[in-house]
């Protein structure tokens, strides 16, 4: 049995935060942000809604697109680093809102690699014949953990997410073909949110020390990201005897345009073979890849039988690439 993507959708909030608006909030400027990151604007969800709101919107788009009833779902996987609450899993809120009455579900926290890890996890349940329909969601409300006085982070991140329906298929050639994943915990101190978990539970002290905000050592992460993302992306091509010429589209994690360009170059891909939308949404963490995939689908950038590589890097450090043969017309 093969695991194929039969529907892909996304949701981003209407509210736009532009570089010009950020210029009024921190010591930065549009020219610096665009030239160093490629980002022009990002979306912000607002205080009264949590991550599950966006997850549900994206999932509803996919259910409608594929003409699927929520009670047909066997499993809901939500990849996120910004759950609505620490307990229960965001998947529980999504299940209730969708009224998906015949499924189970859980969250996956792999930061920016969340969606690609979740897709691979879901593919196992399909390939073993255990399940037929799995909703795989990648979504983050990064504005909930951003210090809008920290120019190192507030210019980069945004809110949004996407969802894919993974189904079983008898067509041998299509769907998830292979993946290569890595986890390197030595990077845990370079990109993290320290407080709010069991090591540093919320306290006046953690709030005073701003430990509930995301911290990143951008320079070190940049170098690691280029190396790690290129490595797994090149390895998956080599392992499957493919070259840049065989790949129709790379859908990379959108963290920095310079990272994307460096990875694509090392893979032997020209810009027209790379899905890029970072200028509109910034880095939505687990959301970037399904949003990019959904927009690529809307723009007819993929046809049935095309080789697609998804590749990502994130906190942990996590990294991974997934090769699939596109199954939709």
Residue placing its CB nearer to ligand UT7 in the complex, 38 or 175: 38
Residue placing its CB nearer to ligand UT7 in the complex, 263 or 302: 263
Residue placing its CB nearer to ligand UT7 in the complex, 25 or 202: 25
What are the residues facing 318 on neighbouring strands? 183, 314
* 131 catalytically annotated: no
Residue 286, SS3 per DSSP:
helix
- Separation CA 260–CA 279 (nearest Å): 12
**Residues making contact with ligand UT7 (CB under 6 A):** 28, 32, 36-37, 112, 151-152, 155, 216, 218-219, 221-222, 225, 255-256, 259, 283, 314
Shortest distance (Å) from residue 250 CB to ligand UT7: 16
**Within 10 Å of residue 188's Cβ, how many Cβ atoms?**
11
Of all residues in the shown chain, the one whose CB is closest to ligand UT7 is 218
Smallest Cα–Cα separation from 66: which of 207, 165, 174? Answer: 165
Q: Which two tokens stand for residue 235?
A: 């390895």
* 113 catalytically annotated: no
- CA 108 remoteness from chain centre: 11
To the nearest 10 degrees (0 to 180), the angle between helices 288-298 and 114-127 is: 70
Answer yes or no: are the C-beta atoms of 36 and 19 closer than 8 Å: no
**Within 10 Å of residue 254's Cβ, how many Cβ atoms?**
30
Residue placing its CB nearer to ligand UT7 in the complex, 158 or 175: 158
Residue placing its CB nearer to ligand UT7 in the complex, 149 or 239: 149
Shortest distance (Å) from residue 262 CB to ligand UT7: 11
- Catalytic choice (113, 253, 256, 277): 253
Residue placing its CB nearer to ligand UT7 in the complex, 91 or 259: 259
- Separation CA 292–CA 327 (nearest Å): 17
Shortest distance (Å) from residue 203 CB to ligand UT7: 27
Cα angle: 103, vertex 111, 206; to 5 degrees: 110
Shortest distance (Å) from residue 153 CB to ligand UT7: 8
Shortest distance (Å) from residue 256 CB to ligand UT7: 4
> 264-271: long-range contacts at Cβ-Cβ below 8 A with a sequence spacing of 24 or more?
266/230, 266/233, 266/234, 267/230, 267/233, 267/234, 267/237, 267/309, 268/243, 268/244, 269/244
DSSP calls for 84-113? SSSSS-HHHHHHHHHT-TT-EEEEE--GGG
- Catalytic choice (112, 131, 154, 256): 112
* 277 catalytically annotated: no
Shortest distance (Å) from residue 141 CB to ligand UT7: 15
- Catalytic choice (19, 192, 256, 283): 283
Shortest distance (Å) from residue 94 CB to ligand UT7: 23
Residue placing its CB nearer to ligand UT7 in the complex, 236 or 255: 255
- Separation CA 78–CA 58 (nearest Å): 11
Active centre residues (catalytic): 112, 253, 283
């Amino acid at each position: 049995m093969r695991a194929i993507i039969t529907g892909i959708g996304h949701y981003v909030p209407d509210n736009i935060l532009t570089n010009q608006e950020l210029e009024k909030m921190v010591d930065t400027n549009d020219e610096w942000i665009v030239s160093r990151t490629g980002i022009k604007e990002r979306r912000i969800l607002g205080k009264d809604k949590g991550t599950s709101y966006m997850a549900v919107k994206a999932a509803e788009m996919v259910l409608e697109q594929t003409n699927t009833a929520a009670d047909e779902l066997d499993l809901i996987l939500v990849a996120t680093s910004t759950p609505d609450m620490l307990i229960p899993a965001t998947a529980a809120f999504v299940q209730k809102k969708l009224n998906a009455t015949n499924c189970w579900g859980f969250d996956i926290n792999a930061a920016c690699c969340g969606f690609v890890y979740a897709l691979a996890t879901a593919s196992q349940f399909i390939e073993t014949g255990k399940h037929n329909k799995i909703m795989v969601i990648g979504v983050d409300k990064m504005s909930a953990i951003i210090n809008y006085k920290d120019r190192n982070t507030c210019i980069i991140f945004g809110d949004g997410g996407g969802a894919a329906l993974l189904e079983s298929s008898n067509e041998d050639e299509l769907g998830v073909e292979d993946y290569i994943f890595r986890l390197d915990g030595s990077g845990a101190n370079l990109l993290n949110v320290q407080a709010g978990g069991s090591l540093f539970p919320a306290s006046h002290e953690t709030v005073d020390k701003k430990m509930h905000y995301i911290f990143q050592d951008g320079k070190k992460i940049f170098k690691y990201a280029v190396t790690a993302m290129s490595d797994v992306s090149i390895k998956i091509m080599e392992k499957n005897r493919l070259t840049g010429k065989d790949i129709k589209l790379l859908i990379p994690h959108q963290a920095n345009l310079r990272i994307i360009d460096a990875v694509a170059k090392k893979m032997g891909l020209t810009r027209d073979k790379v899905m890029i939308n970072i200028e509109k949404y910034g880095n939505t963490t687990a959301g970037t890849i399904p949003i990019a995939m959904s927009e690529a689908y809307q723009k007819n950038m993929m046809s049935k039988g095309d080789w697609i590589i998804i590749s990502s890097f994130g906190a942990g450090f996590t990294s991974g690439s997934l090769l699939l043969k596109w199954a939709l017309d």
